[in-house]
């Protein structure tokens, strides 16, 4: 028997047939870099200066501004991006494994070049710190939604009802927060609403084997209908009780918030943002380094095998789907108690679907999800920041950019990401 096995190492090893090289990434990066570099350099007026303002977070340093010549900076940033592109060519040609950092760094450099170009020759400085800290805050519901998706999909349940879970969380947080006048109580109740929707998803998808995507979409409609109905009736007639706005505090972490530039961006945030940091780290470890995570992923990858070693597949699926719902529900608190607003009809406005996209773009991993969510949050915040400066590009095109990037990314630049093998399938014990 052993004589028949082919040695995989040593002199007798047969050469494995090589996969054809996938040139998509270097080609796409080259095209993008050359396009951006050429366009921006050509469109810059000679002698224009770009002003970028930083909030250092230290009273002694104040808010210094950096003034740079626009064209030279754009060229330098573009050349750096070209350098990354060159690495991508080399790594592809030598069949090396390229990290996810390659497109991220190249993209960041190009975005930076674009920003420098956009504020070039304008009187107003670009508020760098505010741009990034605002982007981080806007990405909070997307991150929670994407985390919820990660938890559910690794256990084998497709969670399209993130949108509904966010909305339910926003609703309950807003109502409880307003009725009690205590934003913290609202924050605590938000996950309960999300968990309830998660439980419904589990009931139909796991217990009754209904197609997961169908349940998800329909639950979204259900939550939209339910919350809008209650908003138009009970809430509006008792607006004094249910429609007051309460707000979670913004907290500056001692010491950390004193780090120049980085401190004001990362550590002068709403309480919910800190919870998000903890959730991302905890889930990244929990999913890929813990026994629970291993069991979860077993249920998503190969439920039969999981069942054979004694894991209760459907019980694991139900519990984790509820947990996922709770995570998205917590993210829903962003819209009401974290943003300091009363609940409004359909206030999640499709963020749940964007969160789903962020999860896929992030390769079904918490750390990838936060990166993708930040991209969307950044684009969302960018139009406001550039509007202040007075940039002539129609805001709609700026807003489109991250969605276009996502399409390019899923079409192959980022590389193939793989969903859990058995997601969306019912396990019949």
Partner 1 sequence: MSQTAGTADKARRDWRATLRQIAQSSPLTVVLAIVVALVVSAILIAAADSEVQRTAGNLLSQPGDFFAAVGSKVGRAYSALFQGAVVNFSGGNAAGFFKPLTNTVSYSVPLIFAGLGLGIGFRAGLFNIGGQGQIIFGAILCGYAGFAWHLPAGLHLIVCVVLAFLGGAAWGFIPGILRAKTGANEVIVTIMLNSIAAYFLGWILTQTAFKKEGSNNPVSPVVDASARFPALGGTRANLGFILALLAALGVWWIMERSTLGFSIRAVGANPDAARTAGLSVATATVWTMVLAGGLAGLAATSQLLSTSSQQLNAGIAGSYGVDAITVALLGRSKSGGIVAAGLLFGGLKAGGYLMQATTNTPIDVILVLQSVIVLLIAAPPLVRSIFRLPDDDRAKKKAIKKALRATRTEVAA
The footprint of partner 1 (CB under 8 A) covers: 24, 204, 208, 210-211, 213-215, 217-222, 224-226, 228-234, 237, 350, 353-354, 356-357, 360-361, 394, 396-397, 399-400, 403-404, 406-407, 410-412, 416
In terms of Cα–Cα distance, which of 273, 190, 185, 199 is closest to 227? 190
CB 370 to partner 1: min, Å: 17
Nearer to partner 1, 64 or 394 (CB): 394
Asked if 128 and 56 touch (Cβ cutoff 8 Å), the reply is no
Q: Hey, what are 312's tokens?
A: 């209760």
CB 357 to partner 1: min, Å: 5
Nearer to partner 1, 333 or 354 (CB): 354
Nearer to partner 1, 255 or 392 (CB): 392
Residue found under tokens 């907290």 = 251
CB 103 to partner 1: min, Å: 15
CB 232 to partner 1: min, Å: 4
CB 221 to partner 1: min, Å: 4
Nearer to partner 1, 232 or 239 (CB): 232
Nearer to partner 1, 37 or 385 (CB): 385
CB 33 to partner 1: min, Å: 21
Strand partners, 10: none
SS3 of residue 95 by DSSP: coil
Instruction: Give Cβ neighbours of residue 50 (< 8 Å, ≥ 6 apart).
Output: 67, 68, 69, 70, 73, 116, 117, 119, 120, 121, 126
In terms of Cα–Cα distance, which of 203, 156, 151 is closest to 330? 151
Asked if 300 and 312 touch (Cβ cutoff 8 Å), the reply is no
Residues counted in the chain = 429
Strand partners, 53: 65, 127
Nearer to partner 1, 183 or 347 (CB): 347
Nearer to partner 1, 22 or 308 (CB): 22
Long-range contact pairs involving 298-307 (C-beta distance under 8 Å, separation at least 24): 299/155, 299/156, 299/422, 299/427, 300/153, 300/154, 300/155, 300/156, 300/420, 300/421, 300/422, 300/423, 301/420, 301/421, 301/422, 302/421, 302/422, 303/156, 303/422, 303/425, 303/427, 304/427, 307/427, 307/429
CB 361 to partner 1: min, Å: 7
Q: How far apart are CA 250 and CA 338, in angstroms?
A: 9
CB 360 to partner 1: min, Å: 5
Residue found under tokens 């793989």 = 418
* DSSP line for 360-382: HHTTT-HHHHHHHHHHHHHHHHH
Nearer to partner 1, 271 or 361 (CB): 361
Nearer to partner 1, 28 or 116 (CB): 28
CB 223 to partner 1: min, Å: 9
CB 202 to partner 1: min, Å: 13
Beta-strand runs (E) in 178-299: 250-252, 268-270
Nearer to partner 1, 231 or 267 (CB): 231
């Amino acid at each position: 028997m052993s004589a028949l096995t082919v040695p995989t190492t040593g002199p007798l090893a047969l050469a494995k047939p090589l996969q054809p090289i996938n040139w998509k990434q270097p080609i796409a990066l080259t095209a993008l870099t050359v396009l951006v570099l050429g366009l921006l350099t050509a469109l810059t007026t000679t002698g224009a200066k770009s002003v970028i303002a930083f909030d250092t977070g230290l009273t002694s340093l104040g808010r210094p501004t950096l003034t740079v010549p626009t064209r030279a900076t754009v060229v330098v940033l573009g050349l750096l991006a070209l350098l990354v592109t060159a690495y991508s060519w080399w790594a592809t040609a030598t069949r090396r494994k390229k990290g996810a950092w390659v497109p991220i760094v190249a993209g960041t450099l190009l975005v930076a070049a674009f920003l420098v170009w956009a504020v070039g020759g304008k009187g107003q400085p670009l508020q760098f710190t505010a741009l990034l800290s605002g982007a981080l805050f806007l990405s909070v519901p997307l991150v929670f939604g994407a985390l919820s998706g990660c938890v559910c999909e690794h256990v084998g349940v497709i969670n399209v009802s993130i949108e509904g879970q966010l909305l339910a969380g926003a609703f309950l947080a807003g109502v409880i927060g307003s009725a009690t006048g205590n934003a913290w109580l609202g924050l605590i109740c938000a996950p309960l609403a999300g968990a309830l929707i998660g439980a419904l998803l589990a009931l139909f998808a796991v217990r009754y084997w209904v197609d997961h995507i169908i349940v998800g979409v329909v639950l979204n409609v259900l939550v939209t209908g339910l919350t809008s109905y209650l908003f138009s009736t009970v809430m509006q007639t008792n607006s004094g009780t249910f429609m007051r706005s309460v707000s979670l505090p913004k907290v500056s972490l001692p010491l950390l918030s004193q780090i120049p530039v980085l401190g004001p961006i990362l550590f002068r945030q709403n309480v919910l943002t800190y919870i998000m940091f903890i959730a991302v780290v905890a889930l990244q470890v929990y999913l890929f380094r813990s026994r629970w995570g291993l069991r979860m992923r077993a249920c998503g990858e190969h439920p039969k095998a999981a069942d054979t070693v004694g894991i209760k597949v459907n019980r694991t699926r139900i519990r984790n789907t509820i947990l996922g719902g709770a995570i998205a529900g917590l993210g829903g608190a962003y819209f009401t108690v974290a943003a300091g607003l009363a609940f409004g009809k359909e206030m999640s406005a499709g963020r749940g679907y964007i969160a789903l996209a962020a999860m896929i773009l992030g390769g079904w991993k918490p750390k990838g999800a936060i990166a993708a969510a930040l991209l969307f949050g950044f684009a969302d915040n960018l139009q406001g920041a550039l509007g202040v400066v007075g940039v002539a590009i129609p805001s709609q095109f700026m807003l489109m950019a991250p969605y276009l990037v996502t399409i390019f990314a899923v079409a192959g630049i980022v590389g193939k990401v793989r969903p859990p093998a058995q997601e969306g399938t019912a396990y019949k014990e």
